[in-house]
Amino acid sequence: MDMSDEPRKSLFRFRKKKDTQDLPKRGFWRGNLEAFTVAIVMALVIKTYAFEAFQVPTESMEPTIIGRTPGGDRIIVNKFKYQFSDPERYQVVVFRYPLARMVNYVKRLVGISGERLRIGHGDIYTTREEGDTFKIARKDRELCSTIFGENPVIPEKATEKISGAWVREWFHVPTSRVKISGKKGLVTMDAGNAELLLATKPGRLVPERRDRYADTRSSTGDRDVKEPLSDLRIDLTVTPSSGVKSVTLILQDGTQPNMPMRLDLAVSGGGGESTLTHGPQTVSGGDAGGRLNDVTLKAGEEVDVRLENCDDRILVVVDGDEVLSYEYIQHWGDPPQGTDSQVKFGFVSGQGEISHIAIYRDIHYTVFEPTQKEAFDVPEGHYLFFGDNPENSLDARGWRVVGIRLREGGKILLGDMEAVSDSFEWPRRDNNPYFEIENGPQGNAISIVNPSTHHFLDIFGNEWDLESGSYDILDLAAFGIDEGSAGILELHGTDLDDPTPEHLAMEGVTTAMLKARADPLHPNQRAFRAYSRLMHYVPRDNIMGQANMIFWPPSRWGVIR
């Protein structure tokens, strides 16, 4: 027998009321305790498997991520993403540092599992097979644009104060043909019947970086780069007058000294033609997948022009519209000696006004040691990470592992050469093992706390207190493991009961021996470097997640690219 809707509703109300009356009442403390417990559990689950916040203490990823002690940018890391997919090249990744596994590092992924990689012209070149040609690993256009925007050669504040004096500070200028107009922030250039191009002065393309938190704090940036920069961009806001044949921009890549990239944009009535030449080759819009040949600037109208070269790809943008994209092949090789990169701009005949000039540069990767001109061979299941601030980054190019052997039992212990720790207060050491020191008011070492006790920080963060004469320094080169190989870490925790003389660089290290070679009162004595080994690669299991965004300070809130 079917029941009508009304009895069914009544029955439901009756049962609901009865069930509710039968439930035991929870007190205030019990209810809040349960809610608090659930919140803690959920927070732990989210932190473990989904998202976690980190604070960045070092400069290695500047200017993408600002780091400083006792902590710089605070970032959100997406741990969920790599549960179901592998990281991809040029993503910014957080991982456990293999030589100090309690320490989390954030770097940009450059080398993929199973490939060979070289640094050339400041860029990344890769191949999969021995003997194959190395090809450039291009960043996508959006990432190139983001990195350019973070790396202005001319400080952004300075570009807002354009004047005749400012132009002469940054560029070679024929005095009689360039002037500041009556209108503030406007430079007039008169080429007459010839070609007038202003060129950057030597050394202007590698300025020091400034901390965005404090203008007084500078980092070494790329001031010490001795190679010519290859990837540059110039933005120009220009108003050509009637009679100008073309507005001209040139990128002279110092790694291609005979292959300048010259853009000429025709101006109406001037009789010119819009073209791009790369050395002796004229690149037409059709061949390059663009419509540069159809572009003609209007005399008397302001226009924004951009010419960029990023990872062997040239882009031309006019008023926000991409009119040419051209990829070319530059083979890996040592850059030529004695050359410099340069940026030029100006007019072919006639007169025009310029209200904005900005120059940007890409990340320029360099090698730490001559041996790194050879290939990095990334093992299967491992990855290679570099910092965005290559000249001031403790990254995979320079990670070094040192080893000691406990004389009682023969156990091998490995650690980072500089005894890297997860504490912001922990001082970097010149050597590992080391003495504990007492610092003075200026932060300088003034005394050894207890000379009879030596210390060693291993790869798991354990600090070993060692007695004088109780351990040996190992020469890791004697173990037959390839330089840079992650396999070196398999020695940690193993026993070396019967070492050969080649295995032992120093036997029974006493206080006098350690002090003679690693005296903290006389720093920069990296006595154990000769016995250490490079270790470049990060196992897949050490990867924690992708750095997604900066959430603090509010002025730097945004997505990380």
Q: Considering only CA atoms, which of 397, 393, 416, 381 is closest in space to residue 102?
A: 416
The per-residue pLDDT for 168 is: 85
CATH architecture of 142-361: Sandwich (2.60)
DSSP letter at 477 equals G
The per-residue pLDDT for 20 is: 47
How many of the other CB atoms lie within 10 Å of CB of 166? 18
Alpha-helical (H) ranges within 422-556 are 511-517
Tokens of 208: 């020091």
Give the Cα separation of 401 and 100 in Å (integer).
10
How do 445-448 and 437-439 pair as beta strands? Answer: antiparallel
The per-residue pLDDT for 346 is: 94
The per-residue pLDDT for 21 is: 52
The per-residue pLDDT for 366 is: 86
Q: Considering only CA atoms, which of 75, 99, 37, 85 is closest in space to residue 456?
A: 99
Q: For the chain, list residues with pLDDT below 70.
A: 1-51, 70-71, 182-184, 207-226, 285-289, 334-338, 440, 442-445, 523-524
Question: Taking the domains of the chain in order of start, what are their residue ranges?
Answer: 142-361, 400-535
Burial 27-53 (b: 16+ CB within 10 A, else e): eeeeeeeeeeeeeeeeeeeeeeeeebe
The per-residue pLDDT for 45 is: 46
The per-residue pLDDT for 236 is: 95
- pTM as predicted: 0.85
Do residues 121 and 309 lie in contact, with contact meaning Cβ atoms separated by under 8 Å?
no
Tokens of 51: 């998202």
Q: What residue type is 31 in one-letter code?
A: G
The per-residue pLDDT for 288 is: 59
Question: How large is the C-alpha radius of gyration of the chain?
Answer: 31
Do residues 282 and 261 lie in contact, with contact meaning Cβ atoms separated by under 8 Å?
no
Coil, strand or helix: which one is 324? strand
For residue 474, the cross-strand partners are 504
Alpha-helical (H) ranges within 94-154 are 141-150
The per-residue pLDDT for 223 is: 46
Kindly report whether the peptide bond that precedes residue 63 is cis, defined as omega within 30 degrees of 0: yes
How do 261-266 and 275-278 pair as beta strands? Answer: antiparallel
In the chain, % helix, strand, coil (3-state, to 5) comes to 20, 35, 50
Q: What residue type is 220 in one-letter code?
A: T
